[in-house]
Amino acid sequence: MKDIRDLDLAQITDSLKEWGEPTFRAKQIYQWLWQKGATDFDAMTNLSKPLRDKLKENFSFAVTTIHTAQKSVDGTIKVAFQLHDGFKIEGVLIPTSSRTTACVSSQVGCSLDCKFCATGYLKRERNLTAAEIVDQVRLINELAEENYGKRLDNIVYMGMGEPLLNYAAVMRSVHLLTSPDGWAMSPSRITISTAGIAKMIQKLADDGCRTHLALSLHAANNAKRSAIMPINESNTLEMLAESLSYWYEKTGVRPTLEYTVIEGVNDGVQEEIDLANFARKFPSKINLIEYNPISLADFQPTGRLDAFARGLEARRLIVNVRRSRGKDIDAACGQLANKLN
């Protein structure tokens, strides 16, 4: 049977019309699904029992559950989610004194082969549905409330997979998370991260996306970027600069350039200059990320992270240094690899 959460409000309404049910029930069902996170028709207590039985006869729930969870010494919680078909994905709860963030996945595995990222060494098995993405948010929010007594403040699409290669489901999940009939979260509290699919960045802008946008840049020289991120061969820095300029012109939102600083790869003075030159092509801000080693690659964190930041600041760029969270449980940036069993 079809997962009812694959239907939009109009499709639920059409089903109720066919059954001779009042159409206002469709919005009640929709709110049960997306405001209250129901995964059982019997929980929908304002519906009649005959209607609940009819829903059971025609639809199902492809439920996502928490398989295992692991808590870091710094409070970060990494979660392995069990999907309905047996696949597993990972997400992360990142609490700080000022905010509580969910990092969610968009695909089972990844197809982009980034050399410094553990997920890049996995096979891409399939895209996630919008419901599976929202389920991660719902379950991580429950962990935030249980462990820290507060709800999520932010959502980042920075987990496993490339969000813009699962565009329709990602955008539907954003709609469900920001809709008044769903989570009603402000789009300004959501960030979509991409390894750089230029035409899809432009599509985001054309489709009126109101979230934040982050580009996983990691090198501002085509040869060096292609060596660690093969996607650059078909989406060059010139193409990305054009698409990010277009994004800013359409949305007025500065894109963030994510730059993991790796010893001997992209941490020299020339790389500072390259990054500064790229960042000036459009209004932007830069997040410098501490590299987190993985067993599959022979890269090391730089000793120049702070010096690199000072060099960019001296060039009057907006720079933030992101310190790693959850390294002891392989939950930090670039470390998600489905190690939890």
Given the residues 21, 57, 90, 263, the one annotated as active site: 90
Span 265-285, pLDDT tens digits: 999 999 999 999 999 999 999
337 domain-assigned = no
**3-class state of residue 74 by DSSP:** coil
Same domain, 71 and 153: yes
Domain of residue 157, residue span: 65-329
Same domain, 20 and 37: yes
100-103 and 88-95 as β-strands: parallel, antiparallel, unpaired?
antiparallel
DSSP 199-244: HHHHHHHHTT--SEEEEE---SSHHHHHHH-GGGGTS-HHHHHHHH
Number of structural domains (the chain) is 2
Q: Return the CATH number at 95.
A: 3.20.20.70
Residues 51 and 69 placed together within one structural domain of the fold: no
Single out the residue in 60, 87, 102 at which a domain terminates.
60
Pair 230, 180 in one domain: yes
Q: What is the pTM of this model?
A: 0.94
209 is catalytic: no
Q: Which of 99-108, 247-256, 315-324 has the lowest mean pLDDT?
A: 315-324
pLDDT of 325: 66
Catalytic-role residue among 103, 114, 209, 333: 333
Question: Would residue 338 count as lying in a domain?
Answer: no
**H or E segment to which residue 49 belongs:** helix 49-58
Q: Does residue 90 carry a catalytic annotation?
A: yes
Give pLDDT tens digits for 197-241. Answer: 999 999 999 999 999 999 999 999 999 999 999 999 999 999 999
Instruction: Kindly state whether residues 124 and 14 are assigned to the same domain.
Output: no
Rounded Cα–Cα distance for residues 114 and 200 (Å): 19
Task: Residue 16: give its domain's CATH number.
Answer: 1.10.150.530
Residues 238 and 296 in one domain: yes
The first and second tokens of residue 264, run together, are: 């001997």
Work out the widest C-alpha separation in the chain, in whole angstroms.
70
What does the alpha-carbon distance between residue 10 and residue 42 come to, in Å, rounded to a whole number? 22
Boundary of a domain, candidates 60, 94, 110: 60
